Structure formats: structure tokens, C-alpha cells
Structure 1
Amino acid sequence: MSEQRREHTVRPAQVEDAAGIAHVHVLTWQQAYAGIVPDAYLAALDVEQRTVTWRRDLEGGRVRAWVAATDAGEVLGFVSLGPSLDEDAERGALQIYAIYLEPGMWGSGAARELLRTALADVPPRVPVTLWVFAENERARHFYRRHGLAPDGTERLEDVGGAELLQVRYRRR
């Protein structure tokens, strides 16, 4: 069975998924952002540190998250959603903080399932935004295909000493 065809189920994330989520988070950053984010920053990403952060976030309940996982519990991807962190956010607005899929699963449809699951959890007419690196054309195309569009807001973020342009997308 090819890696892209691994059977999975999208379900709410549990605290026990923190290490798997952290693994996918780090691996995906290292693959997807190579050439965008400084190599030294990517090399320094630490799964154990991310596990601690994810465990805290999942225990605290501030973040809602879903995973694409195998029957054996292996996390193949995840999406997280919570209150908007933007200063100009409307009251009650939500933000997709992260959506990442193990690189071997890219193109499998699992990311689409994750995004649809998260958006289905959002009440009607509640604004949803997310931020994406301007140079990340693959992700920008994915978001456009799934009903999100740039809203004209941009920001520079320092990532590993590089000033990277981010573009905010909003659900249409």
C-alpha cells in the first residue's frame, strides 16, 4: 500500500495525540518551508518541545484540534482552531492556527477532510481566518480551492532571523 493511500479517520484530537501532532508539525515545517524559512531554524525545531506545547494546548481546551489518524493511532495530519489572535478581529471570530499533513500524505485528500471537519464545527456567519507565508504557493492554492481568499491584510513575521511576509486568508 502506498503511503498516500494509508487508511485514516479524522477525529477530535486527544491529549495522547500530542507527540504525534508534534512529530507531524516539525516534519512538515522542515519539508514545506525548506527554502522559505532559514535552514538553521528548521533544523532546530524540536519534537519534544512541540509535544509539551501541544499537550498543554489540548489539556487547556483553548484550542480545538482534529487529527487524521490510522486505526493504530498514528497521527498523519492535524488541524487546530481557536479564537482569532488578530487585533482587528471581529467579536467571536475564529482562526485556523495550523493545518499540517505528513509529507507522504500530500495529495491524499486528508488535508481536505481535516479542513472541512474544522470548518463544519464553526457556526454559520462566524468569520474564520488563517495566515500563510506568501511564498507558500502550494498552501495558498489549497486554501483558495477550499473557499478561503486573501482579505488584503499582510504582516511581516520574524522567523529564525528572516522577515517573512504572511498573507491573511478569510473564509468567503
Structure 2
Amino acid sequence: MVEQLGEVTIRLADVADAAEIARVHVASRREAYAGIVAAEYLAALDPAAREPEWADYLRAGPDEGVRTWIAWTPGHALGFASLGPSRDEDAARNEQEIYSIYLDPGMWGHGVARELMRTILAEVAPPVHVSLWVLADNERARHFYRRHGFSPDGTERLQEFGGEELLEVRYRRR
């Protein structure tokens, strides 16, 4: 699915998009996780180091049922989101999971994340459930997910970020 949003195109990402996705991923994490995740960890994030990881991920994704969309404007990415089969042990056979949704911090509040979410959700036919994991202290993201029909289902886990164990909450949309 390719969707136009002004001069922004939302399309499936490919390996050629890895550098831009890595750039957005690092910038977004640094901003969104400031005060939640250790500052040293965030400062050490390197888009150049993440680029080959993203290239591998984008190359293998379709074979594993994972799709990544990119919000693109001429010359650079504004955001991206990935969807695939749920990785949770208690997931139903066809349940989907949003693995990531990140936006260039300069684009927060401009509707790009909303359009990425709408694109993802349009790919999931009811009655398939969609889940995602969010840091418990990331109130901005939690609010965004609630606005899109997600709610916490009571499942939590500890996830390692920069040597710290941080609480994540699972959200589901039915």
C-alpha cells in the first residue's frame, strides 16, 4: 500500500532505506527515551552501526512475514513502522505484533505517526488481534497507542536497555 500525505509517501521499505531508517531510529530513541533510559546508552547509539542491522532486517523480513513501512518525503525518511507475527508465547496463531513505530522527533505531532499506524492497521483484517510492547514510563507513546484503540492487557516484562532492566507493558487492540 502506498499512501500520500501531502509530500509524504508511506510505502513498504526496502534495503535501500536502511540508512534513513537507522537515522530515524536513533534520533527517535534518543528523544523519546530521554529520562527513561540511561543517557550513556542513548548517547552511544550510532546510526552507522545500526544501518547494516536494518539492512539485514529488511532483507529477511518478508521471508519471516515482517513488513516495514517508511514515511518518506523527497530526500529523507520521516518515520517507519514494522508489523509481523506476534512473538509472544501466549499469542494466537494469527495474532500480529507491531515491532516498532518510530518518528523523526521533528515530525512529532504532525500526523505522520497516525498515518503510519493507519497503514499498519489497514493490513490487519478483523478479528485478528494486534499487540505491541511499550516502556511503562513512556507516557507519550502510551497515550498515542490508547488513541488508536490499544489498551494494556495486564502483561508486563522486564527488557534490558543499556544494562538496565526496564518495565514494558503489552498493549492489545481487539
TM-score range, shorter chain: over 0.9
Counterpart of 1:23 in structure 2 is 23
Please give the per-residue CA displacement for 1:69-93, whole angstroms capped at 9, x wherever unaligned. 10x2411100001111111111121
Please give the per-residue CA displacement for 1:92-129, whole angstroms capped at 9, x wherever unaligned. 21110100110000000000000110111112211110
**1:129 aligns to 2:160 (yes or no):** no
Q: Displacement of 1:7 after TM fit?
A: 3.1
Instruction: Please tell me the residue identity of whatever aligns with 1:156.
Output: L
Counterpart of 1:118 in structure 2 is 120
Relative to the length of structure 1, the TM-score reads: 0.92
RMSD: 1.4
Relative to the length of structure 2, the TM-score reads: 0.91
Please give the per-residue CA displacement for 1:18-52, whole angstroms capped at 9, x wherever unaligned. 11011000010011101100111111112122211
Counterpart of 2:71 in structure 1 is 68
Structure 2 portions without partners, runs of 5+: none
Instruction: Provide the secondary structure at the position in 2 that maps to 1:86.
Output: coil
Q: Percent identity?
A: 62
> Superposed, which structure 2 residues align to 1:1-172 within 5 Å?
7-60=7-60, 61=62, 62=64, 63-70=66-73, 72-172=74-174
Instruction: Please tell me the residue identity of whatever aligns with 1:36.
Output: I
Instruction: Provide the secondary structure at the position in 1 that maps to 2:166.
Output: strand
Gap change, CA 1:73 and 1:66, over 3 Å in 2: farther
- Which stretch shifts more, 130-139 or 45-54? 45-54
Structure 1 portions without partners, runs of 5+: none
Query: What is the total number of aligned residue pairs between the two structures?
Result: 167
**Cα distance in structure 2, aligned partners of 1:119 and 1:34:** 28
Instruction: Provide the secondary structure at the position in 2 that maps to 1:130.
Output: strand
4+ long deviations beyond 3 Å = none
